[in-house]
Amino acid sequence: MLLIKDILDQKPIGTSHSVKGWVRTFRSNRFIALSDGSTIRTLQAVVDFEKFDEALLKRITTGAALSLIGDLVSSQGKGQDVELLVESLEVLGDSNVEEYPLQPKKHSMEFLRENAHLRMRTNTFGAIMRLRHSLSFAVHEYFNKNNFFWMHTPIITGSDAEGAGEMFNVSVLDKKNPPLKEDGSIDYSQDFFAKETNLTVSGQLEAELGALALSKVYTFGPTFRAENSNTSRHLAEFWMIEPEVAFADLNSNMDLAEDFLKYVIAYALENCKHDLEFLESRLVEEEKMKPQNERSALPLREKLQFVADNNFRRVSYTEAIDILRNSKPNKKKKFKYIIEEWGADLQSEHEKFLVQHFNAPVILFDYPANIKAFYMRLNEDGKTVRAMDILFPGIGEIVGGSQREERHDVLLEKMKEFSIDPEELQWYLDTRKFGTCVHSGFGLGFERLVLFVSGMTNIRDVIPFPRTPGNAEF
């Protein structure tokens, strides 16, 4: 049995085929648009209503599962090259029109989130699911071609020093009546792992251990943040890609991130043509409701091609602060957070401004040490670290990375400054004692990438079942 994608691509005319799928529409009691999700395109199946029972035809409703057998012929009608002349038709699963939520009309994103168990059957979410798959595949392909090893870092972590955000506690203790220590705090020594554990916020620290043995590794797995930020760019559960490379400094880290992003975007352009075409027109429709100045400057695929073809702009934090300080929105107090002086943490409004200012993806580097994590390599100036963030149009931060502090004494000092117990991270410090070397890596939020490539506006709509504050349905 061929999938609809294969039938439409190969057009094996003149032979009989069996296809299975779900009804999208049935019009004029004659034309079924059948989808099996293998492609965004539907197969037109033509039924001769005189040949079939009226009762059977009545059961061809939107959402019903059908098994069809018939000859594939070239189509007389507009809109498709081939169509299936139905000889045998079986309804595998009925779909009651009165109850089925997805009728062939426009549904709001909010409505579809509430019906996330069915939304993969819509054009938009079908396209996103296929795009997610292709981008994941491209990620693995890129790293495999470049001699990286995929490393499976733990999801349950025993270290509370990852430092990237609030964590979800993992415990099997009786919540109503947990064992207590003498000081009244919970006695985790009686818990499953005999210590306190959490869901990981990042696999980086473990990936560093891998890089310092295998030279080039990457992680690609779920990460969790219990941050109460209800934004269109934050999920409580998201997938992160974290390459880590030994003997690589910040410059080669930036080269890697840029090359990698261009590769996976070009891959999607090449391999998701139909889905991107659809998502592009969806975005145009969505933006019709917005004022001109809030619409995308370029159509989706042109935007992606632009990013794939052009150099990212590399700008130091210090330069960026100068630009921001002298910017119109700063002088006219249009920013919510006015940039007063060097050392300020950049907010998403500033990131958006910089991307617009340079009209390209921007890599910011050499941030003030005190607004970045403890493990980042201290520069000779003693006040900045070898950190980099990549900012994308419409998304803001898509990548955060750094060269890691490889000097044992400096790292130890930094941990003290950040109130991190060196004993907790003895295993991490060990790598700086035995064969330490310059190394670097970055973290890319997979959903931020899918958001960018799909042109969707809310991160909840690029993952099948989003987890956000107050919501863990399905």
List residues near ligand ATP by CB under 6 A.
Answer: 164-165, 225, 234-235, 238, 240, 397-400, 443-445, 447-448
In the sheet with 384-392, reading across from the earlier edge strand, the strands are 149-150, 216-224, 237-246, 439-445, 396-403, 384-392, 362-368, 313-316
Give yes or no for a contact between 49 and 16, defined as CB atoms under 8 angstroms apart.
no
Residue 204 in tokens: 């980086």
State in angstroms the smallest separation of the CB of 204 from ligand ATP. Answer: 9
DSSP state at residue 120: G
State in angstroms the smallest separation of the CB of 172 from ligand ATP. Answer: 26
Burial status of residue 57 (CB atoms within 10 A of its CB: 0-12, 13-18, 19 or more) = middle
* Beta carbon nearer to ligand ATP, 238 or 374: 238
DSSP E strand stretches across 336-405? 362-368, 384-392, 396-403
Q: Which one, of 6, 108, 132, 78, lies nearest residue 447 by Cα?
A: 132
Q: How far apart are CA 45 and CA 4, in angstroms?
A: 11
Which residues are registered as beta bridge partners of 199?
156
Q: Which one, of 55, 44, 58, lies nearest residue 86 by Cα?
A: 44
State in angstroms the smallest separation of the CB of 448 from ligand ATP. Answer: 4
* Beta carbon nearer to ligand ATP, 231 or 426: 231
State in angstroms the smallest separation of the CB of 294 from ligand ATP. Answer: 21
Which residues are registered as beta bridge partners of 242?
219
State in angstroms the smallest separation of the CB of 330 from ligand ATP. Answer: 20
Give yes or no for a contact between 20 and 51, defined as CB atoms under 8 angstroms apart.
no
* Beta carbon nearer to ligand ATP, 393 or 443: 443
* SS3 assignment, position 366: strand
* Beta carbon nearer to ligand ATP, 378 or 398: 398
State in angstroms the smallest separation of the CB of 364 from ligand ATP. Answer: 12
Pairing of strands 362-368, 313-316: parallel
* Beta carbon nearer to ligand ATP, 23 or 399: 399
* Beta carbon nearer to ligand ATP, 207 or 235: 235
State in angstroms the smallest separation of the CB of 52 from ligand ATP. Answer: 50
Residue type, 462: V
* Beta carbon nearer to ligand ATP, 188 or 220: 220
Give yes or no for a contact between 391 and 362, defined as CB atoms under 8 angstroms apart.
yes
State in angstroms the smallest separation of the CB of 451 from ligand ATP. Answer: 9
Q: Which one, of 262, 261, 299, lies nearest residue 282 by Cα?
A: 299
User: 131 — phi, psi (to 5°)?
Assistant: -65, -45
State in angstroms the smallest separation of the CB of 255 from ligand ATP. Answer: 18
Q: How far apart are CA 167 and CA 31, in angstroms?
A: 53
* Beta carbon nearer to ligand ATP, 377 or 448: 448
* Beta carbon nearer to ligand ATP, 324 or 399: 399
